Amino acid sequence: MTRKIALAVAWRSIHNFLSNPAFLAPGILFPLFFFTAFAGGLSAISNTPGFEFPSGYTAFQFVFVLLQSAAFGGVFTGFGIARDFETGFARRYLLAASDRRGIVAGYALAALVRSLITWTILTAVALVAGMEVGGEGVELVGLYGLAILVNATATMWAAGVAMRVRSIQGGPLMQFPVFLILFLAPVYVPLSLLSGWIHAVASVNPVTALLESGRGFISGDPTAVALAFAIGATLPVLFALWARGGLKRAEAAG
Amino acid sequence: MNAALRTQVGQLARRSVLRTMRQPGQIVPALIFPLFLLAVNSGGLKSATDLPGFPTDSYLTFALAVPFMQGALFSVMNAGTDLARDIETGFLNRLALTPLRGAALLSGLLAGAVVLGVVQGMVYLSVGLIAGAELAAGAGGALVLVVLSVSVTVAFGTLGLFAALRTGSGEAVQGLFPLFFVLLFLSSMSLPLSLLQTDWFHAVASANPVSYLLQAFRSLLIEGWNLGDLALGFAIAAAIGTIGMYAATRTLKTRLVRT
């Protein structure tokens, strides 16, 4: 039964964003834009002393943008949940669903489909732009596997906020912490080239391990894989608890 | 300016300034978001100063120009959203019943952008200097920096007014933010033009007026008094402001149809 509820919610969400360019376009255009700006505008950074990344700066930035798009796929889905509460549709979901966890699962499935579309386009553009891929099959599966875990984490975070605030005015609250934690990681250069406070923060930021592992996968030199997947697997579980709390708040609000 | 026009502009300017000051939702993001990006980028891209030809050994000083541009982009949203709200709530229609002149309306609405520009300029500069950035042009340069900040903020504010008058929708004005954000990112925001290696990116950034506005700010911070860069920056701000004001005035004429 839960599966049927999840599929129904996912189908509606997917239909909504696929049939409305205003919902679909930002999720696709923003990652492409960041990829273009970072890979194109900052390529000289790869000439700084100590910067060593065998697959080149385009691949280096591709991994960041891939994980960023994964996170924002979840955040944009959170916007959709908030909109459903504003229009009253989510309350109809709450009334109709026998197992309400299926509602959250449905939104998570929709977030994944949304991100898969973005990743397909982003990967195609990166390859056309000349991105070098040193990793092989299993390593690339690892890279996209990390992206799926990031997507699930961000979806659960945004769903938790959306179900607590139940208004699109909660958008900045969903978006800003995600933006913050992503940019407090080694975005432009490897961790070893950071210094000062940003190095200290990036060293304890869990996104750093995900980024470094992802970059290891794409260059065919797997790095910190166990740590990255341990973090990647733990975060969705923790934020699922956060989302469950949000669901209970929404239920209590009626 | 005759007395009637002065009164009209004064009243609308007062309203615009008060409205801006009473909305922390407008001021806070315009101050916090650019400073956050400054902190992150100046930390993350510090090693760029090791590149041969980089104009300074302090990336913070180089990057301090960027918040001034981001603040100006926020003024598009703020000025435009305020006017769009006046259209949506029917306030503009009520103004149309008065003998108010179009020029007074637009000039008055930009007063909020001027105040925001002054506050932004002073906050960005103070935070930057406290954090360790250099200001090669000295105290006089600080004044010119704030004046340039206000000029650029007002120039972009006119584009916000035009967008609001054209669409009549606050949501549509907000939708312009990504477009202006693209303008910023496709400029010499992170590296000087001479160090942009990707050919197409170098070409786009070279044709992007934002690169030259950034250079005007940077000239005061890094070089001291480079009159050529400063003149170009002020000229571009004036050109954007003139085009924006002209477009907004033309569009206002169709909005303020008196019956």
Contact call for A189 and B196, based on CB within 8 A: no
**Total tally of structural domains belonging to chain B:** 1
pLDDT band (50, 70, 90) for residue A185:
very high
What the block records as the tokens of B174 is 């907000």
Does residue B259 register a pLDDT over 60?
no
CA neighbor of A192 nearest in space, from A73, A51, A78: A51
Percent of chain A at pLDDT > 90 equals 61
Give the pLDDT score at B26. 66
| Arithmetic mean of pLDDT, A1-26 | 86
CA neighbor of A99 nearest in space, from A249, A252, A244: A244
* Distance between CA atoms of residues A231 and B251, nearest Å: 54
What the block records as the tokens of B93 is 């229609």
Question: Quick check: B36 contacting A, CB < 8 Å?
Answer: yes
* Distance between CA atoms of residues B127 and A135, nearest Å: 44
pLDDT band (50, 70, 90) for residue A162:
very high
pLDDT digits (tens, 9 = 90+) for A71-121: 999 998 998 898 899 888 988 998 888 888 999 999 999 999 999 999 999
* Distance between CA atoms of residues B47 and A6, nearest Å: 48
CB B145 within 8 A of CB B31: no
pLDDT band (50, 70, 90) for residue B107:
confident
Q: Closest CB to B44: pick one of A26, A33, A194.
A: A194
Q: CB atoms < 10 A from the CB of A162, how many?
A: 31
Percent of chain B at pLDDT > 90 equals 43
* Distance between CA atoms of residues B132 and B4, nearest Å: 48
Does residue A236 register a pLDDT over 90?
yes
Contact call for B43 and A43, based on CB within 8 A: no
Q: What mean pLDDT, rounded, does chain A reach? A: 91
Among the residue ranges A17-21, A144-148, B137-141, B216-220, the one predicted with the least confidence is A17-21
* Distance between CA atoms of residues A244 and A225, nearest Å: 29
Q: Closest CB to A44: pick one of B37, B195, B205.
A: B195
Question: Quick check: A32 contacting B, CB < 8 Å?
Answer: no
Q: Model-level pTM greater than 0.90?
A: no
Q: Using DSSP, state whether A49 is helix, strand or coil.
A: coil
Q: Which domain holds residue B140?
A: 3-46+55-255
Does residue B70 register a pLDDT over 80?
yes
Q: Using DSSP, state whether B66 is helix, strand or coil.
A: helix
pLDDT band (50, 70, 90) for residue B1:
low
Contact call for A188 and B44, based on CB within 8 A: yes
Does residue B60 register a pLDDT over 80?
yes
- For residue A189, the chain B residues in CB contact (below 8 A) are 44-45, 47
Give the pLDDT score at A216. 95
pLDDT digits (tens, 9 = 90+) for B115-143: 888 888 899 999 999 999 999 999 999 99
Domain positions in chain A: 2-253
* Distance between CA atoms of residues B234 and B215, nearest Å: 11
Contact call for A45 and B186, based on CB within 8 A: no
Give the pLDDT score at A22. 73
Contact call for B48 and A45, based on CB within 8 A: yes
Give the pLDDT score at B248. 92
* Distance between CA atoms of residues B9 and B207, nearest Å: 36
| Arithmetic mean of pLDDT, B194-219 | 93
More confident residue, B30 or A242: A242
Q: ipTM value of the model?
A: 0.71
Does residue B30 register a pLDDT over 50?
yes
* Distance between CA atoms of residues B168 and A191, nearest Å: 47
Contact call for B191 and A198, based on CB within 8 A: no
Question: Quick check: A43 contacting B, CB < 8 Å?
Answer: yes
Question: Quick check: B205 contacting A, CB < 8 Å?
Answer: yes
